[in-house]
Amino acid sequence: MKALREEYPNPQFQRKNWQSLNGKWDFGFKKAEAGFKFSDDAALAQKLFKKGKYTHKINVPFCLESRLSGIGYTGFVNLAWYRKRVKIKKTEGRVFLRIGAADYLTTVLVNGAPAGRHKGGYTSFSFEITELVKEGENEIFVLCEDNVRNPLQCRGKQSERLKSHGCDYTRTTGIWQSVYIEYVPKNYIKSFKIYPDITDCSVTVSAELVGKAKLSLKAFFDSKEVGGIEVPKCSGTKLVTLKLSEKQLWEVGNGRLYDLELKFGSDCVKSYFGLRQLRLDGMKFLINEKSVFQRLVLDQGFYPDGIYTAPSDEAMVKDIELSMKLGFNGARLHQKVFEPRFLYHCDRLGYIVWGEYANWGIDYSSPSSVPVFLKEWGEAVERDFNHPAIVGWCPFNETWDYHGRRQCDELLGTVYDYTKAVDRTRPCIDTSGNFHVRTDIYDVHDYSFDVNFFKKNYQRLVDENYLYEHVLTYHPGRQAYGGQPTFVSEYGGIKWQGDSSVKSWGYGDDVKTEKEFADRYCGLTEVLIGNKKMFGFCYTQLYDIEQEQNGLLTYQREPKFSEETYDRIIKTNRKRAAIE
């Protein structure tokens, strides 16, 4: 079984001394049972460590449901356990085990001893295992517990039914991002936040340090040093500012990145940043003081062979490049927290994205969801704060009533307040589409297909400052437009059968010819581009996913239409917007 995904998992926080654990692991799993409950501590993991049967070999970091895992089992699974024997070299420093993501409750044992537990299926975590490892061979055990029907668990677009349906798809159980060991000095850099300043041509770094040592930072552009600073013995949280001798602005379509080197004692971390500033100005969305019309497409981050996990680094790059070739300048990264390497490629290519979370599945009508969601969302915001490509946060998507109960407004309001407290540099949409509680941007989802009807409704925004909102028509009093900047963050989704072997799902079954498809796509999109108070759009979606056959490409990222149709789509997407 060939190991895949051997590149360093997080280019924005990279150390030289690391060891990939991707590849073949011993593996066992247990099918779902009625009445399943999550374990309270490491006792279950220790029991399976001693007596659990390993019936398979699995290719990490691919989930057991995927073909690339070597298993491909797609039924419900509550328990999945992994074992790998690893040679580790003991040093005077520290040893960390890092996992990009594992769904959902993860318990790690090292040589039979508890190393730590993490709850949440979408965010990265790590445990220091210095005192648990020995020189030579060590045994690492990972237990993942999962239940997509748990009302206090975010599942995103993973199907809660046995099979995929509508806009829900194959589940992901267990490890689905890279696993690796990192060797770190005793005094080390724990984390840092980067604050670029385009006016002052500088960058401020807030570094969280463990221990006491000299701190030095250097910035480079095209391998040339353009700034540096040294701070004598320091510890704790340190705020330092580097003046830059060259101003190279990060722009849409041109992700000019500075390299950043941080040294703390013997610890050395390689990173990067973009000189980029965001601001809302009336109805405009400004990037570096320039009004930028966001030509976005919905990207859900699914792959035919890897499900949640891209088969290769090249596959992630391909998705971004395909989108840009179609005339889009960014994406909503929908109902999922994408891998750091995907975000790195967005950063370097100048591809703007919205950071979102996989909120579907959690009971957003219950106050009990507040601590659960806030913890997981907080980890996502902290991890991805430094990416210049992320131009906004959107923790929730379409918070429809949960089994007949209205959303808990306090949940959405608390998460919005937290997001703004942690990050004042970006706008936050509380919940995309509905039902807004507190939001910097008022976005709507609109799958209307009559172009004239579509235009008439959004023209009222220009003429009367009235935003047509179909949700309010059927749910009066649930949300109200307050004059915020606006965009239609989901529209289209025009059904076009790409795979005749599945029963397809999508919007607008009445489209029968490519011309009808292109007329509808271009007509709807031109309405939004031509609206003087609309700062962007997001078309549903880039590619088909399983039975949802409304992508501009097939699930395999192959063309669905003729060159003539694509030419019309591209020309429409690239038209100059009225707000620009």
Which string of DSSP letters, residue by residue, matches 331-359?
EEETTS---HHHHHHHHHHT-EEEEE---
Residues 80, 205 within the same domain:
no
CATH number for position 485: 3.20.20.80
Determine the Cα–Cα distance for residues 146 and 160; give it in Å rounded to an integer.
12
Residue 1 lies in a domain: no
SS3 415: helix
Residue 567 and residue 542 share a domain: yes
Query: Is position 88 within any domain?
Result: yes
Q: Which amino acid is at 182?
A: E
Q: Which residues of 207-234 are buried (b: 16+ CB within 10 A; e: fewer)?
A: bebbbebebbbbbbbeeeebbeeebeeb
Give residue 508's pLDDT.
Answer: 84
Residue 525 lies in a domain: yes
Residue-wise pLDDT for 103-154, tens only, equals 999 999 999 999 999 999 999 999 999 999 999 999 999 999 999 999 999 9
Q: Dump the DSSP string for 177-192.
A: S-EEEEEE-SSEEEEE
Which amino acid makes up residue 196?
P
Count of domains forming the chain: 3
Does residue 150 belong to any structural domain of this protein?
Answer: yes
Mean pLDDT across the chain: 96
Per-residue pLDDT of the chain (580 residues; tens, 9 = 90+): 455 799 999 999 999 999 999 999 999 999 999 999 999 999 999 999 999 999 999 999 999 999 999 999 999 999 999 999 999 988 889 999 999 999 999 999 999 999 999 999 999 999 999 999 999 999 999 999 999 999 999 999 999 999 999 999 999 999 999 999 999 999 999 999 999 999 999 999 999 999 999 999 999 999 999 999 999 999 999 999 999 999 999 999 999 999 999 999 999 999 999 999 999 999 999 999 999 999 999 999 999 999 999 999 999 999 999 999 999 999 999 999 999 999 999 999 999 999 999 999 999 999 999 999 999 999 999 999 999 999 999 999 999 989 999 999 999 999 999 999 999 999 999 999 999 999 999 999 999 999 999 999 999 999 999 887 777 777 888 888 999 999 999 999 999 976 677 788 999 878 889 999 999 999 999 999 999 999 999 999 999 999 999 999 999 999 999 999 999 999 999 999 999 9
- Which CATH number fits the domain that encloses residue 225? 2.60.40.10
Identify whether residues 503 and 433 lie together within a single domain. Answer: yes
Q: Are residues 267 and 371 in the same domain?
A: no
Considering the domain architecture, whether residues 166 and 193 belong to the same structural domain is answered as no
345 shares a domain with 270: no
- Residues 207, 354, single domain; the answer is no
The answer to whether residue 285 is domain-embedded is no
Do residues 325 and 243 share a domain?
Answer: no
CB 383 within 8 A of CB 341: no
Tokens of 493: 């989704």
**How many whole angstroms separate alpha carbon 432 and alpha carbon 414?**
16
494 lies in the same domain as 447 = yes
Question: Cα separations (Å) of 412 from 440, 483, 563?
Answer: 13, 20, 44
Instruction: Count the residues in the chain.
Output: 580
Does 168 share its domain with 271? Answer: no
The CA distances from residue 67 to 176, 303, 309, 312, 399, in Å, are: 13, 10, 11, 14, 32
Domain that holds residue 451: 292-573
Q: Let me know whether 149 and 81 are in one domain.
A: yes
Q: Give 312-329 pLDDT, tens digit per residue.
A: 999 999 999 999 999 999
Q: Do 341 and 403 lie in a common domain?
A: yes
Which residues 6+ apart lie within 8 Å of 10 measured at CB? 100, 124, 340, 341
For residue 43, what is the domain's CATH number? 2.60.120.260
> In angstroms, rounded to a whole number, what is the distance separating the alpha carbons of residues 207 and 229?
13
In a domain, residue 284? The reply is: no
Q: Contact, 70 vs 146, CB < 8 A?
A: no
Scan for tokens 């799993």, then name that residue. Answer: 29
Q: How many CA atoms lie within 13 A of 34 on its CB side?
A: 0
Residue 261 lies in a domain: yes
